[in-house]
Amino acid sequence: MCGIVGYVGKKSTAEILLNGLSKLEYRGYDSAGIALNLPSGMKVFKANGKLHNLKNVMTENIAAGSGIGHIRWATHGGASEVNAHPHSCNCGSLVLVHNGIIENFQELKDELTGCGCVFKSQTDTEVIAHLVAREFEKVKDLKTAVINSIKCLKGAFALCVMHNDVQDTIVVAKRNAPLVLGVGNGENYIASDIPAIIEYTKSAIYLDDNQIGVVSADEIKIYDASGNLLTSKVENLPFEPQALSKMGYKHYMLKEIHEQSDVIRNILAASPELQLKKFDRIQIIACGTSLHAALVGKYVIEDLAGIPVDVEASSEFIYRSTIINENTLVIGISQSGETADTITAIKQVKEKGAKVLIVTNRPDSTMARLADNLFPIEAGIEVSVAATKSYMAQLIAMYLLGILLAKDAEKAAVIKAELSQLPAKVEMILNNSTAIAEIARKYSNFKNFIFIARGINYPSALEGALKLKEISYINATGYSAGELKHGPIAMLDESMPVLAFLSEGIVYDKVLSNCQEAKARQAKLIAVTNVENSTHQGLFDDIIQIPHVSDMLSPTLNAVVLQLLAYYIAEFLGKDVDQPRNLAKSVTVE
């Protein structure tokens, strides 16, 4: 949610900021802006909408020793040029960019307005600009002004602040929002996330909550909230710049779908040694697609290990009395490791004494840093906003965890052997993607969609619907097939396609009967199936035949199909596949 970039050094600051923002577009794309600190005054450029609009207004090549940039995902105040960051104080000599939400902004705004501050935007961020500027007037030191100001802030923030009286320096601070400082040679970088800086440096300092950084070209100094100088730890960044290329695919999403066979190979090869403390139940918390992986995990772990597993959306988990204690293993699943709801939930359960295992694609993330045990899923950086390969890797992590905790070693060995066959089967589906694209074309003009499944594929129905709606904006819902007759069946007629995941296993016959019920109401029926049965021909309008796997592993292959279908439907509709409207990849606000 919102991306921040900063640079101090001798290179073209504007170019570095624009390039960095282009790598952070997955964090938001409602507006963009840049401020350059020139001896003659601050130069601020802003544009509503996507980053290319900002590039269009930045036609001059202006040399500056320091600058900050921002890409916005709107929270307070709509998407507009006036609400775009950087925001400034009355006289414009102080500018700042912010990621997060200031919960007490209204109270601060009222007070600052009373002191003569004039607000130009509807954002919560602008209060910080006025607040720091007022402090700066008093103490004449930017670092102290930031330290004093953040004491008044409630909520989450990652900030970059510049003042025109302090050339070639950026002051940064953070609480509950990510910020990384890239260490260069005679230059330094700031970013919300590594992709913005990885092509310039592989060394970085991660700022902790309530720390303040003073970044100049030659040094980075880190202070605690009382202004004491701290020793900072420089770490090696984990990514290669080439991970950020589309490698000839039209979209990152398609590339990432095609990477899934290798993703499975990588995670199987890396499977970590986990030393888990004794526990008697498991609670999994996650959001969105990661929540669907968690639901599959419940089936897998309960079946293989016989341990009770509860799964809940983090955003629901945090606002009720939960029964968690030192005998509960809490598993947080998150691609980004930065999802605010899940971070809050993890902090809560840690206070109750639970041990936390984090399953994430970002071993450098906030969640990873909170973990008692870490399970990195090795999917490689995922750029497209819609999660695909990270979902696959999360599913495999659930199987590996089930195997690790299994009571029946023989059953676990069978699943393990079957996992090693998966990459080849995923490739078989990918090689058949033209047939899936044809079916996608046929259904791309329907306004509504229903996905059904039962058992371990119920989460596949949920994920199928989520993927379709988030990138094509088609109204799609996932139901457990058995629930259809308890209400949703009322919606069925020839205008409603129903896609059924029909995998061999305990619920196959039941799902087939539920499909018959849908057919009797004239619904268009699509099967995604690994069963060859002549009754399918008469029943389904379209059949996507996939390789055979056991019931337990079937969500993996179904995932590839649902991703390809969603991708091709969105692509036929001409949607912005990698950056769907209103979304952001890293959801750092509650």
The set of catalytic residues is 2, 585
- In the complex, least distance from residue 360 CB atom to ligand F6R, rounded to whole angstroms: 8
CA distances from 475 to 107, 133, 457, 461, 471 (A): 39, 47, 20, 14, 11
Please tell me whether residue 293 binds ligand F6R under the rule CB under 6 A: no
Please tell me whether residue 339 binds ligand F6R under the rule CB under 6 A: yes
- In the complex, least distance from residue 334 CB atom to ligand F6R, rounded to whole angstroms: 3
Binding-site member from 260, 266, 342, 480 for ligand F6R (CB under 6 A): 342
Please tell me whether residue 37 binds ligand F6R under the rule CB under 6 A: no
The whole-angstrom separation of Cα 421 and Cα 413 is: 13
Residue nearest to ligand F6R (CB): 288
The DSSP call for residue 102 is B
Question: Residue 83 or residue 336: which is nearer to ligand F6R going by CB?
Answer: 336
The DSSP call for residue 41 is E
The 384-403 contact track toward ligand F6R, x by CB under 6 A, reads: --xx----------------
Please tell me whether residue 336 binds ligand F6R under the rule CB under 6 A: yes
The region of 7-15, 106-114, 287-295, 484-492 touching ligand F6R under the rule CB under 6 A is 287-295
CB atoms within 10 A of CB 167: 15
Report the candidate in 180, 182, 189, 187 with the shortest Cα–Cα distance to residue 218. 187
Buried b (16+ CB within 10 A) or exposed e, 218-240: eebebbeeeeeeeebeeeebebe
- In the complex, least distance from residue 339 CB atom to ligand F6R, rounded to whole angstroms: 3
159: Cα within 13 Å, side-chain hemisphere = 39
Phi, psi of 385 (to 5 degrees): -60, -40
Collapse the DSSP code of 197 into the 3-class scheme (helix H, G, I; strand E, B; otherwise coil) and give the result: coil
- In the complex, least distance from residue 253 CB atom to ligand F6R, rounded to whole angstroms: 10
Beta bridge partners of 40: none
Beta bridge partners of 43: 36
Which residues 368-387 are close enough to bind ligand F6R by CB under 6 A? 386-387
Please tell me whether residue 366 binds ligand F6R under the rule CB under 6 A: no
The region of 110-118, 329-337, 519-527, 541-549 touching ligand F6R under the rule CB under 6 A is 329-337
Phi, psi of 96 (to 5 degrees): -150, 155
- In the complex, least distance from residue 180 CB atom to ligand F6R, rounded to whole angstroms: 17
Question: Residue 125 or residue 334: which is nearer to ligand F6R going by CB?
Answer: 334
- Residue count at the site for ligand F6R (CB under 6 A)? 14
Binding-site member from 25, 259, 378, 470 for ligand F6R (CB under 6 A): 470
Four-point Cα dihedral 503, 508, 512, 517, nearest 10: -120
**167 is written with which tokens?**
């050339």
* Interface ranges with ligand F6R (CB under 6 A): 287-290, 334-336, 339, 342, 386-387, 466, 470, 587
